[in-house]
């Protein structure tokens, strides 16, 4: 079984890492659209058009399923990607993030940290409301918060840096001061790189990393197709602008190849 | 006379503002490639390809001259843009920045603050060396410093914010500590928005804003064509992804329209 993993850039590597743990018998193709990163600051129309082009390219890579490992693409273009890929199973990252947050029982609001485009789409809000209705539960307070500086900070490699901590306090300080507990959903696949810093900025809160949940969901749904691949564990890499891959991600990919 | 102003996004607005002051009798067309911003993190090949496409689009806008108000495009693709535009005068922003820095007589190094792509191209270093040779002078110490977080911080509107000051101290603190004077060249058209903060981070240094120098150069070279335009002072706006224009720039454009 060969699984495609698609992201606007290198954020999807956090999802790929969890997928490889959950599905050690699969092989993977990673496609990062680094020529067009970031998606999160672009319009809905532009994001859909980029996702359609990417899906057409990915459809020729001989995959058995696709994981859209990008919250912006999952929020704004999952339907468009599914259209391009016909009957192939396509998984997004919003649904599993919502599911994971709803399994946690703590007092306080649910806060989704995401890009501007994801927040504007309200994909998390709508999916939460649908799920609460299905479950017959009252909706908890759900807040969607755009944090556009976090991706550039991560790409600069400042993942345990005073500037990152100050930025997180700026974005999250008011919530930390008002609520002694709550659930923070990492609604961008870059953000697991800074999970520890987010936990520090929100003491008493539970932080949900949807990368793990996505991997579990994909693994469960593809269980019948769990046939060992002759190239098990292998990853093929494609980037639409390879020289633009940031150094920290390049290092991560090299380490993966050696494993 | 109608002058085109081209930038990867909204940074070129700082150049447009100076051009309108220097050439009040001209009309302008601004083209911001917001569908592909930022250029500064992309590869040289991708930047050249984007600039050629933009130039082809701009060539149909009936302009008499083009100002490439983007340091990354000026550093990596000025020749390609000139090729696409044939005999039309094309002005970049690197040359005027270099010229302005060389007119300042202070002790200490010249520090060019720019994007990753501009730094990798060494366009400033090469142009400085050429100019010093032409002038028969010894080269001062020239350092090119990539500051990739500054554009996202400016686009977030954090232009007088503790996170911006801390980031500038991180990038510039070592130079401020070592040299009590020097010249800092704002080698990215976004950076004039934060000129005051850069001056604060480099006490005793002279900060060169090349937007003014570019406008002076364009004004001088086009002096023979200084015929009043029936649409003097008017600006037409084109963005390749209009909804992606950040709020602070949208406000600036609205203010410009009312003037």
DSSP B36: T
pLDDT digits (tens, 9 = 90+) for B59-104: 999 999 999 999 999 999 999 999 999 999 999 999 999 999 999 9
CA distance A11 to A6: 10
From A55, A188, A201, A207, active-site residue: A188
Q: How far is B243 from chain A (nearest CA, A)?
A: 5
At residue B259 the predicted structure's pLDDT band, cuts being 50, 70 and 90, is: low
Q: Is A35 within 8 Å of chain B by CB?
A: yes
Interface test with B, best of A46, A50, A160, A249 (most B CBs within 10 A): A46
Chain A residues in contact with B161 by the CB 8 A cut-off are: 170
Average pLDDT over residues A125-137: 92
B94-210 maps to which CATH number? 3.40.50.1860
Average pLDDT over residues A129-136: 92
pLDDT digits (tens, 9 = 90+) for A140-151: 789 999 999 999
pLDDT of residue A259: 63
Q: Is A109 within 8 Å of chain B by CB?
A: no
**Cβ contact (<8 Å) for B42 and A241?**
yes
pLDDT digits (tens, 9 = 90+) for B240-249: 999 999 888 9
pLDDT of residue A231: 76
**Cβ contact (<8 Å) for A149 and B153?**
yes
pLDDT digits (tens, 9 = 90+) for A234-255: 999 999 999 999 988 999 999 8
| Least confidently predicted of A157-171, A232-246, B156-170, B226-240 | B226-240
Residue A16 has pLDDT above 80, yes or no: yes
**Cβ contact (<8 Å) for B163 and A148?**
no
**Cβ contact (<8 Å) for B166 and A162?**
yes
Residue B192 has pLDDT above 80, yes or no: yes
Sign of CA dihedral A17, A96, A227, A10: negative
pLDDT of residue A101: 93
From A70, A98, A150, A218, active-site residue: A70
Give Cβ neighbours of residue B79 (< 8 Å, ≥ 6 apart).
none
pTM of the entire structure? 0.90
CA-based nearest residue in chain B for residue A150 = B152
At residue B225 the predicted structure's pLDDT band, cuts being 50, 70 and 90, is: low
| Least confidently predicted of A63-72, B42-51, B138-147 | B138-147
At residue A228 the predicted structure's pLDDT band, cuts being 50, 70 and 90, is: low
Contact B175, B112 (CB under 8 A): no
Mark whether A147 is an active-site residue: no
Of all residues in chain B, the percent with pLDDT exceeding 70 is: 97
At residue A233 the predicted structure's pLDDT band, cuts being 50, 70 and 90, is: confident
Contact A171, A148 (CB under 8 A): no
CATH of B2-92+212-258, one of 3.40.50.1860, 3.40.30.10, 3.50.50.60, 3.40.605.10: 3.40.50.1860
Return the structure tokens found at B76.
């990596």
Average pLDDT over residues B241-258: 89
Q: Which ipTM was obtained for this model?
A: 0.87
Q: How far is A23 from chain B (nearest CA, A)?
A: 33
**Cβ contact (<8 Å) for B36 and A41?**
no
Q: Is B162 within 8 Å of chain A by CB?
A: yes
Q: How many CB atoms lie within 10 A of CB A1?
A: 17
Chain A residues in contact with B116 by the CB 8 A cut-off are: none
Return the structure tokens found at A85.
């890929």
Q: How many CB pairs under 8 A join A and B?
A: 73
pLDDT of residue B155: 85
Residue A161 has pLDDT above 90, yes or no: yes
Residue A196 has pLDDT above 70, yes or no: yes
Q: Which residue has the higher pLDDT, B230 or B61?
A: B61
Residue A68 has pLDDT above 90, yes or no: yes
Return the structure tokens found at B135.
């002038």
Q: How far is A162 from chain B (nearest CA, A)?
A: 8
Residue B24 has pLDDT above 80, yes or no: yes
Chain B residues in contact with A46 by the CB 8 A cut-off are: 35, 241, 243-244
**Domain boundaries in chain A?**
2-92+212-258, 94-210
Phi, psi of A64 (to 5 degrees): -100, -15
Of all residues in chain A, the percent with pLDDT exceeding 90 is: 83
| Least confidently predicted of A75-84, B136-145, B233-242 | B136-145
Of all residues in chain A, the percent with pLDDT exceeding 70 is: 97
Residue A222 has pLDDT above 90, yes or no: no
Scan for tokens 């008499």, then name that residue.
B64
Chain A residues in contact with B153 by the CB 8 A cut-off are: 149
Residue A166 has pLDDT above 90, yes or no: yes
From B188, B194, B202, B215, active-site residue: B188
Give Cβ neighbours of residue B186 (< 8 Å, ≥ 6 apart).
B97, B113, B192, B195, B198, B207, B208, B209, B210
CA distance B17 to B12: 9
At residue A224 the predicted structure's pLDDT band, cuts being 50, 70 and 90, is: low
Exposed e or buried b per residue across B126-151, where buried means at least 16 C-beta atoms within 10 angstroms of its C-beta: ebbeebbeeeeeeebebebebbbbbb
**Cβ contact (<8 Å) for A156 and B162?**
no
Mark whether B51 is an active-site residue: no
Mean pLDDT rounded to a whole number for chain A: 93
Q: Is B36 within 8 Å of chain A by CB?
A: yes
CA distance A41 to B181: 38
Average pLDDT over residues B175-197: 96
Q: Is A162 within 8 Å of chain B by CB?
A: yes
CA distance A204 to A219: 31
B2-7 and B65-68 strand pairing: parallel
Residue A174 has pLDDT above 90, yes or no: yes
pLDDT of residue A225: 60
**Cβ contact (<8 Å) for B148 and A170?**
no
Chain A residues in contact with B149 by the CB 8 A cut-off are: 149, 152-153, 156, 158, 163
Chain A residues in contact with B190 by the CB 8 A cut-off are: none
Q: Is B148 within 8 Å of chain A by CB?
A: yes
Interface test with B, best of A9, A72, A146, A156 (most B CBs within 10 A): A156
Average pLDDT over residues A168-193: 96
CA distance A21 to A18: 5
């Amino acid at each position: 079984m060969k699984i495609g993993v698609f992201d606007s850039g290198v954020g999807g590597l956090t999802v790929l890492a969890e997928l490889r743990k959950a599905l050690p018998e699969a092989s993977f193709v990673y496609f990062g659209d680094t020529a067009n990163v970031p998606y999160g600051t672009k319009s809905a129309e532009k994001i859909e058009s980029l996702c359609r082009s990417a899906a057409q390219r990915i459809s020729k890579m001989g995959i058995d399923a696709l994981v859209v490992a990008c919250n912006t693409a999952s929020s704004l273009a999952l339907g468009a990607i599914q259209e391009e890929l016909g009957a192939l199973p396509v998984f997004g990252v919003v649904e599993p993030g919502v599911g994971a947050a709803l399994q946690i029982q703590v007092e306080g609001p649910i806060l989704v940290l995401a890009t501007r485009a994801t927040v504007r789409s309200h994909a998390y809000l709508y999916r939460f409301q649908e799920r609460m209705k299905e479950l017959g539960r009252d909706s908890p307070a759900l807040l969607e918060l755009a944090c556009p500086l976090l991706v550039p900070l991560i790409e600069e490699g400042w993942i345990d840096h005073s500037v990152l901590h100050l930025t997180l306090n700026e974005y999250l300080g008011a919530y930390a001061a008002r609520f002694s507990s709550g659930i923070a959903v990492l609604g961008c696949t870059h953000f697991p790189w800074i999970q520890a810093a987010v936990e520090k900025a929100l003491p008493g809160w539970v932080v949900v990393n949807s990368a793990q949940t996505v991997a579990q969901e994909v693994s469960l749904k593809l269980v019948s197709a769990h046939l060992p691949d002759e190239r098990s564990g292998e990853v093929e890499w494609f980037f639409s602008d390879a020289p633009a891959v940031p150094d920290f991600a390049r290092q991560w990919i090299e380490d993966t190849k050696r494993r």
